[in-house]
Amino acid sequence: MQCAQVGRSAAWRALCSGGLLRTGYGGALAGCRPHGSSRQTPEEAAVIRIPRYMQKRVDSGKPSPGKNKVNTIKAGKLLIQSRNPELNQSAGYVLGRFEQPVLCSRGWRHHKSFGDQFTINNVREVAPFVLENRDEDVEQKTFKHLPICRGLVEVLHGINITRPTTVQLQTIPKVMRGHNVLCAAETGSGKTLSYLLPVVHRLQARKASELHAGDRHKIGSVILVPSRELAEQVAAVSRTLCARFGLLTRTVGGGRGVGHIKMVFKRDQPDVLVATPGALVKALRRRCLDLSELSFFVVDEADTMFDPSFSHMLEDILRHTNIAGEPKETQGLGHKAQLLLVGATFPGGIGDVLSQVMDLGSMVVIKSKMLHFLMPHVKQTFLKVKGADKILELHQALKLLQQEKGGGAALVFCNKSATVNWLGYSLEEMGVQHMRLQGEMPAAVRAGIFRTFQKGTVDVLVCTDIASRGLDTSRVRLVVNYDCPESHTDYIHRAGRVGRAGGVQDGEVLSFVCHPWDVELVQKIETAARRRASLPGMETDIHEPKPTTLLTEQ
Ligand SMILES: Nc1ncnc2c1ncn2[C@@H]1O[C@H](COP(=O)(O)OP(=O)(O)OP(=O)(O)O)[C@@H](O)[C@H]1O
């Protein structure tokens, strides 16, 4: 350490010219004045201790290593919080277009990084799809302002739903006008009601006219979903809405055999049928149901349905339905069905797949602003951890949730059914009460597990991605990615189990990053967070409605 007695302004200039102040050292050095120096005039001498290596650097005129580093820290709340404070980023800092962010996860492929972590903090208290409702133009909007019958508004009030979310405000009027609609909006934004309200409204009106005409009853609406759990959930919402109008909702799911499918259609045909693709194809092949009077064909979680594992079934089903090309074809005798495609993720390339089976040009596309963005109202932590330590970290996180954060439910996601089983046994040994849900369970065992979890019988559900799609987990407070998700789409859906409309508000996501191949995904998520951009590779090729379409409607 060199000890120099210099004029303060000279030292200040020297340090500035060495670039030291910009690296953050400046504050520390400037504060290093002798006790009582506050009474000195600026030109009075002050003792400043300068480390030898710094003095050399100043003398040689070399720039400090951090000279070009961008200072991403401003006053106010932090967006990215790291163990290394230099890598923090303030919520108020916006990265330039060509600025490369320095990532906390940059060295995470190295074994020495185990134990490191960073957090993407929640910078908003409330979800954007709820907050935007307070915007001036929609300030006064309630369900009464939407073109649905009073009976439905009263049912909604009965279940404490009074103000529509943004996606409901945008979607319901378009569906009511008879358009084929593609609705792409973030998880938990209330998409189910966006399509169910117009469906039930139209079916109750149709039922009233049929009663007078004495028509034979046929299926009015088919809702296609990828899993039995989601079918049960959508059917439960539909039953709540339909009960008042005497409309019938039924579900048909796979894994229960043809006998069960025949039983479903033996008596009356339901007004609303919620089905999984496999079961619906079986029912159509055995001529159990008649879709000739169909008013709505809804495909929920549409991107999964156009996945190769489902797409051939979907094409088969679409051959049995008569989809309208324009709104006027949905009215009157011999009407055709409206097509509604709904989902929270529409990754790149989906447009091509969709256009092979339908005329995308005839669809009105409703795309939310935050589609494929990280949720700004949910805190998301990434922890680099050794495989052997994951179980201890999980135990710790669950304990923290129950003992210090006031309790709540947790979803623990694994990539494989075998991991769900293994983790289940380990948690059992640790005395953690939980339930398991994975796709390899027999249908009879699987039935009802999710409903039991939703009711609050148990607080921890260990599951695979079958619980990540569409399931409403309003009481979940913590999502743990025990295994890092394999894609951005999976991350969006898993994380989307918290921060939902009408759900607990301080939801959190904790992801364990273990393998080197997990790191790329984490780095892309961190980059998207720092840039406040949508996740890469998710640039959807579906488009918002053309202005001409909107003008003709208004
Ligand atoms: N207008 C509203 N006000 C308050 N809560 C609402 C409103 N609309 C829906 N909800 C509630 O929000 C929760 C999430 O709704 P829903 O399951 O429809 O979301 P989603 O957009 O389909 O999510 P995902 O993409 O995960 O399927 C449900 O519990 C629902 O009851």
Q: How far apart (Å, rounded) are the C-alpha atoms in residues 160 and 149?
A: 17
Residues whose CB falls within 8 Å of the CB of residue 175, separated by 6 or more in sequence, listed in order: 181, 194, 195, 198, 338, 340
Q: Which CATH class is domain 78-125+375-531?
A: alpha beta
Domain 128-367 in the same topology as domain 78-125+375-531: yes
Angle at 434 between CA 225 and CA 187, to 5 degrees: 35
| Cβ of 191 below 6 Å from ligand 1 | yes
What DSSP assignment string belongs to 440-484? TS-HHHHTTHHHHHHHTS-SEEEE-GGGTSS---TTEEEEEESS-
Assembly ipTM? 0.99
Encode pLDDT of 487-540 as tens digits.
999 999 999 999 999 888 889 999 999 999 999 999 999 999 999 998 887 765
- Position 476 scores a pLDDT of 95
Nearest CA to ligand 1 atom 16: 190
Phi, psi of 71 (to 5 degrees): -85, 105
Phi, psi of 297 (to 5 degrees): -125, 110
Mutate to test the pocket of ligand 1, among 189, 303, 304, 346 (most ligand atoms within 8 A of CB): 189
- Position 10 scores a pLDDT of 41
Contact 464, 439 (CB under 8 A): yes
Q: What is the position in ligand 1's atom list of the atom closest to the CA of 502? A: 5
Cα(472) to ligand 1 centroid in Å equals 7
Pick from 94-103, 263-272, 385-394 the range whose average pLDDT is largest: 385-394
Domain boundaries, the chain: 2-60, 78-125+375-531, 128-367
- Per the listing, tokens 């593609």 go with 182
Q: What is the position in ligand 1's atom list of the atom closest to the CA of 501? A: 12
Between the alpha carbon of residue 316 and those of residues 279, 295, 476, 497, 530, the distances in Å are 12, 18, 37, 31, 44
Encode pLDDT of 346-380 as tens digits.
876 667 767 776 777 778 989 998 999 999 999 99
Mutate to test the pocket of ligand 1, among 161, 340, 370 (most ligand atoms within 8 A of CB): 161
Cα(503) to ligand 1 centroid in Å equals 9
Contact 501, 130 (CB under 8 A): yes
Give yes or no for residue 179 having a pLDDT over 90: yes
With H, G, I as helix, E, B as strand and everything else as coil, classify residue 289: coil
Q: Higher pLDDT residue, 215 or 521?
A: 521
- Position 89 scores a pLDDT of 92
- For 93-118, what is the mean pLDDT? 89
Of 241-245, 336-340, 548-552, the poorest mean pLDDT is in 548-552
Cα(192) to ligand 1 centroid in Å equals 6
Cα(188) to ligand 1 centroid in Å equals 5
Encode pLDDT of 150-167 as tens digits.
999 999 999 999 889 999
Encode pLDDT of 308-343 as tens digits.
888 888 888 888 888 888 888 888 878 899 999 999
Architecture category of domain 128-367 in CATH = 3-Layer(aba) Sandwich (3.40)
Of 124-128, 259-263, 328-332, the poorest mean pLDDT is in 259-263
Q: How far apart (Å, rounded) are the C-alpha atoms in residues 307 and 321?
A: 20
| Cβ of 496 below 6 Å from ligand 1 | yes
| Cβ of 130 below 6 Å from ligand 1 | no
Q: Higher pLDDT residue, 59 or 283?
A: 283
pLDDT-based confidence at residue 36 (cuts at 50, 70, 90): very low
